């Protein structure tokens, strides 16, 4: 974080400063800001966030031992650490992030990119960070730090020398993107796609589209909107972007796109295509698996082009990215049994894309095995969407469909109803039972996809299988 005094921080967050013995309100703090006491280092600021299962106030002492010099709390604690008492620590770090970003922006050349979409945010964020880090100091979210806690913590990692800040904005209800993006008003905003992820929280896909469009509303005046023209709901955001005075850059696979992909080819070793931009035809060879990642790459190329990076340079950097993120189309296992662990999260769109990738990368003499768990937060559409994925798996000729958990049972029943019987589809109660089954079922030549929402926990099953068959 940038250098601020205890008194300045207290004023920004509207809190009551209670300096520890020997601490002056003018003392300067520059350390990391985090809600995890284990991540503290010398000079850190610990945010004592109350949670469902524990309370951060219990860990102020641990944060102090690990080097924290300040705690932002909702009630005073007895530990020998300076404290700022606020009504709500989440609101406090949001206001602190707003102020820090504004100061760095006013004093330097900070440019901010904001990314949203039902799928692909984290991969695109990582692509952006890889491209921009060669241009100057770049701060981007760790993992999927895209909510009311993670987004401000990412913003607070900037320094006076930061040139680029990449923000990922997720949401499970209307108004969340507006609040978070409004803290920084990005110069470039990326709209990836509108799908059914978190549809239960929004009340439907049209409401989801309106929520995603909040990022365009929050863009800085004179900024750029990067829109996926392959998605009708995203393309429909163009009039809003025009009203906001934003420059519009389209990406996708259609002829109207400013940054366009053609000739997409997916193999077990990566994904290739030709990128058409600025009257150039540039080959792109991603190490990342899956045709669905091509649009993520196009979005990153388009956004960084708006920031002055030549597309050829962006492509060269993208080709060095070995993995989208842990548990996202992550190759594991060995030469005989290959595992793709894509179980960090799942929506109907990402589940379908992963299944298609599994079918595309499996060659003659090899067998497709899909280990599938529940897709969460789909609301009243959950049953129909699990049915649809079960049907798709059969129609893609996935040869073994292993469904895990009671919440995914509809997927299994749909697969059986579509013709996956005689042991081709099985339903197992939990990850342990699935691991035991797969230990005896998998054989050389199998390509195995593990896919579910985070809550189903199958990412750890994928890890176990990857280690077992390495």
Angstrom distances, CA of residue 397 to CA of 214, 282, 403: 40, 34, 16
Q: Which residues contact 438 (CB under 8 A, 6 or more apart)?
A: 369, 371, 402, 448, 465
Q: How would you write 424-465 as a 3-class SS string?
A: CEEEECCHHHHHHHHHHHCCCCEEEEEECCHHHCHHHHHHHH
Rounded to whole angstroms, the Cα distance separating 244 from 232 reads: 20
Fill in the DSSP letter of residue 345: -
User: How far is the C-alpha of 224 from the C-alpha of 243, rounded, in Å?
Assistant: 12
SS3 for 233-298 is HHHCCHHHHHHCCCEEEEEECCCCCCEEEEEEEEECCEEEEEEEECCEEEEEEECCCCCHHHHHHH
Name the one residue in this structure whose structure tokens are 């993120």.
325
Longest dimension (CA), the chain: 74
Does 117 carry a binding-site annotation? yes
Which residues sit opposite 397 in a β-bridge? none
Residue matched to tokens 């920031």:
307
What Å distances lie between residue 20 and 25, 58, 64, 70, 345, CA to CA? Answer: 10, 18, 12, 9, 43
The first and second tokens of residue 60, run together, are 């102020």
- Cβ atoms of 217 and 225 closer than 8 Å: no
- Kind and range of the H or E element at 165? strand 164-168
Question: What is the dihedral sign for C-alpha 144, 149, 151, 156?
Answer: negative
Query: Is residue 121 annotated as involved in ligand binding?
Result: yes
Q: Is the Cβ–Cβ distance between 295 and 252 less than 8 Å?
A: yes
Q: Is 122 annotated as a binding residue?
A: yes
Residue 120 labeled ligand binder:
yes
Name the DSSP class of 20.
P
Under 8 Å between Cβ of 151 and 180: yes
**What ranges in 319-457 are assigned the alpha helix state H?**
348-361, 382-395, 409-418, 431-441
CA–CA separation, 223 and 226 (whole Å) = 10
Contact between residue 317 and residue 299 where contact means Cβ atoms under 8 Å apart: no
119 assigned to a ligand binding site:
yes
Q: Judge whether 274 is annotated as a binding position.
A: no
- Residue 154 marked as a ligand binder: no
Binding residues for ATP are 117-123
Binding residues are 117-123
């Amino acid at each position: 974080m940038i250098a601020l005094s205890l008194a300045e921080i207290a004023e920004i967050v509207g809190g009551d400063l209670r300096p520890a013995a020997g601490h002056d309100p003018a003392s300067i703090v520059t350390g990391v800001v985090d809600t995890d006491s284990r991540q503290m280092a010398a000079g850190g600021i610990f945010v004592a966030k109350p949670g469902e299962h524990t309370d951060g106030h219990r860990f102020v002492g641990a944060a102090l031992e690990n080097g924290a010099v300040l705690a932002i709390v909702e009630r005073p604690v007895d530990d020998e650490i300076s404290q700022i008492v606020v009504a709500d620590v989440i609101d406090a770090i949001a206001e602190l992030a707003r102020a820090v970003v504004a100061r760095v922006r006013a004093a330097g050349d900070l440019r901010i990119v904001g990314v949203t979409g039902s799928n692909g945010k984290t991969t695109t964020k990582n692509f952006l960070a890889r491209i921009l880090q060669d241009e100057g100091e770049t701060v981007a979210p760790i993992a999927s730090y895209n909510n009311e806690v993670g987004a401000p913590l990412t913003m607070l990692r900037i320094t006076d020398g930061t040139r680029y800040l990449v923000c990922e904005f997720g949401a499970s209800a209307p108004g969340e993107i507006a609040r978070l993006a409004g803290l920084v008003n990005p110069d470039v905003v990326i709209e990836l796609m509108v799908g059914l992820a978190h549809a239960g929280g929004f009340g439907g896909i049209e409401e989801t589209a309106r929520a995603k469009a909040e990022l365009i509303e929050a863009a800085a005046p004179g900024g750029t909107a990067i829109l996926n023209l392959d998605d009708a709901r995203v393309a429909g955001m163009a009039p809003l972007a025009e009203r906001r005075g934003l420059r519009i850059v389209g990406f996708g696979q259609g002829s109207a796109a400013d940054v366009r992909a053609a000739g997409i080819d997916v193999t077990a070793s990566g994904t290739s295509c030709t990128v058409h931009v600025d009257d150039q035809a540039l080959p792109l060879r991603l190490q990342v698996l899956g045709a669905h990642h091509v649009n993520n790459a196009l979005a990153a190329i388009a956004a960084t082009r708006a920031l002055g990076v030549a597309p050829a340079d962006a492509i060269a950097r993208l080709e060095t990215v070995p993995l989208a993120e842990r548990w996202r189309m992550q190759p594991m296992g060995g030469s005989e049994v290959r595992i793709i662990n894509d179980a960090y999260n799942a929506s109907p769109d990402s589940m379908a894309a992963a299944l298609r990738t599994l079918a595309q990368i499996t060659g003659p003499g090899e067998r497709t095995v899909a280990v599938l768990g529940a897709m969460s937060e789909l609301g009243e559409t959950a049953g129909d969407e699990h049915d649809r994925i079960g049907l798709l798996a059969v129609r893609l000729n996935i040869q073994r469909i292993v469904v895990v958990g009671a919440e995914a049972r509809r997927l299994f029943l749909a697969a059986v109803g579509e013709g996956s019987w005689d042991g081709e589809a099985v339903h197992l109660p939990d990850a342990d039972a699935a691991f035991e089954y797969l230990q005896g079922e998998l054989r050389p030549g199998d390509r195995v996809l593990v896919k579910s929402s985070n809550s189903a926990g199958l990412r750890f099953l994928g890890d176990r299988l990857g280690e077992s068959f390495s």
